[in-house]
Amino acid sequence: MNALRIGTRGSDLALQQARAVASALERCGAAPCELRVIRTSGDRIETGVLSEFGGKGLFVKEIEEALSGNEIDIAVHSAKDLPVVVPSGLIVQGYLPREDARDGFVLPRGVTIRTPATILEILEQFGPEPRIGTSSVRRIAQLVTRCPGAVFKPIRGNLDTRLRKVDGREYDVIVLAVAGLRRLGFAHRLSAAFTVDECVPAPGQGAIAMETRVDDTAANESVARVDDPNTRTAVTAERALVKTLGGGCQMPIGAYAVVKGSELHLDAVVSSLDGTHVPRFRLSGVRDEPEMLGHVVAQRLLEAGAADILGNLRRSQVSETDES
């Protein structure tokens, strides 16, 4: 029996996610798995904000090329990094059960907080201009009005690097995905998590996606054994919303879907970068039609002003490209 070749980025988090996929597959009786590490365009960008480099597919392109070229059998991605349009001949075949999808924040070692406390109350101890570390335009756009006076500073690097920076007081607070902290064994560093009402997660956040070739029967059957139906349904709705909006992973779009019995609930937001215009819409539908629910919610957002927000962002990005 030939081993299943699993393609992944080389970061600690990516490797942990790929190992989780391999373990799940082997527990279900699939062929033995071997990991193939692939360096992506996003891995080569060590400074700056990813949206300045195009954003879309930066952590995916080279892995998908290896999959299309039959160098690997399964590509493992953070679902939030995966463009909503996949190359011809490839398919997102499954998802592992989703981790906590929320955003959270980490304070420097030795700094304690009283609970319960709002993010604003927590930031007050750092003075009138607390420094918040995040490179996510979605997080900034949603938090800017909740944290008046805050200075948002870009932060890059792996989790260890980011934690060292906040502990070294380069930042007063850093904002991270709860799922990444938990998967890498740093749940104890999580100071608190934002509720979905406070900060809607990125579409697909907390989910591990498995991509295969459409015609690879063996790989597809193996992935189907470990595919989590609820995660697939929720992420399908979120990705359908992004597709209808014409957005990507570097746009200020938040979307979070959850399955409850026979129903699917979707909460989504598009924020202007200054936080002054924040169209948001929540809707429930039947769980068997996740793409329809995503499309309907996206249409409502577009009608409520998301079209102008996203259009202005795209025009500004084109203008910056033309001037560079």
Q: What mean pLDDT comes out for the span 250-256?
A: 93
**Catalytic entry in 81, 103, 172, 216:** 81
Tell me the residue type at 120.
L
Pairing relation of β-strands 173-177 and 103-106? antiparallel
- On whether the pTM is more than 0.95, the answer is no
Above 70 in pLDDT, residue 182?
yes
Answer whether residue 266 shows pLDDT above 70.
yes
In this structure, whether the domain defined by 1-96+208-227 belongs to CATH 3.20.20.70 is answered with no
Q: Predicted confidence band at 107 (pLDDT cuts at 50, 70, 90)?
A: very high
pLDDT of residue 53: 45
Per-residue pLDDT, 256: 98
Q: Report the chain's C-alpha Rg in angstroms.
A: 20
103-193 folds as: D-Maltodextrin-Binding Protein; domain 2 (3.40.190)
Residue 54 has pLDDT above 60, yes or no: no
DSSP code, position 306:
I
In 10 A of CB 88, how many CB atoms?
A: 7
Q: What percent of the chain has pLDDT over 90?
A: 79
Per-residue pLDDT reduced to its tens digit, 8-23: 999 999 999 999 999 9
Separation of alpha carbons 290 and 39, rounded Å: 33
Residue 58's pLDDT band (cuts 50, 70, 90):
confident
pLDDT tens per residue across span 33-45: 999 999 887 666 5
Q: Report which of residues 99 and 113 the model is more confident about.
A: 99
Residue 171 Cα distances to 60, 113, 159, 198, angstroms: 29, 16, 14, 21
Rounded mean pLDDT of 84-93? 96
Could you read off the pLDDT of 208-244 as tens digits, one per residue?
999 999 999 999 999 999 999 999 999 999 999 999 9
Q: Mean pLDDT for the chain?
A: 91
Locate 52 and state its tokens.
């300045």
CATH 3.30.160.40 domain locations along the chain: 228-324
The structure tokens listed for 323 are 């001037």
The pLDDT, as a whole number, for residue 322 is: 37
Q: How confident is the model at residue 319 (pLDDT cuts 50, 70, 90)?
A: very low
DSSP structure string for 136-160:
-HHHHHHHTTTSTT-EEE---S-HH
The predicted-structure confidence for 271-289, as pLDDT tens digits, reads as follows 999 999 999 999 999 999 9
CATH 3.40.190.10 boundaries in the chain: 1-96+208-227, 103-193
Any idea what the Cα angle at residue 168 is, between residues 161 and 50, rounded to 5°?
Answer: 40
Note the pLDDT of residue 48: 52
Of all residues in the chain, the percent with pLDDT exceeding 70 is 92
Rounded average pLDDT over 66-89: 96
> Which range has the worst mean pLDDT, 56-70, 119-133, 293-307, 309-323?
309-323
CA distance 248 to 32: 34
Q: Is residue 73 annotated as a catalytic residue, yes or no?
A: no
- 140-179 pLDDT per residue, tens: 999 998 898 999 999 988 899 999 999 999 999 999 999 9
76 has pLDDT over 80: yes
pLDDT at position 321: 33
User: What's residue 252's pLDDT?
Assistant: 95
pLDDT of residue 324: 29
- Whether 270 and 309 have beta carbons less than 8 Å apart is answered as yes
**Options 3.30.160.40, 3.10.129.10, 3.80.30.10, 3.90.1150.10; CATH of 228-324:** 3.30.160.40
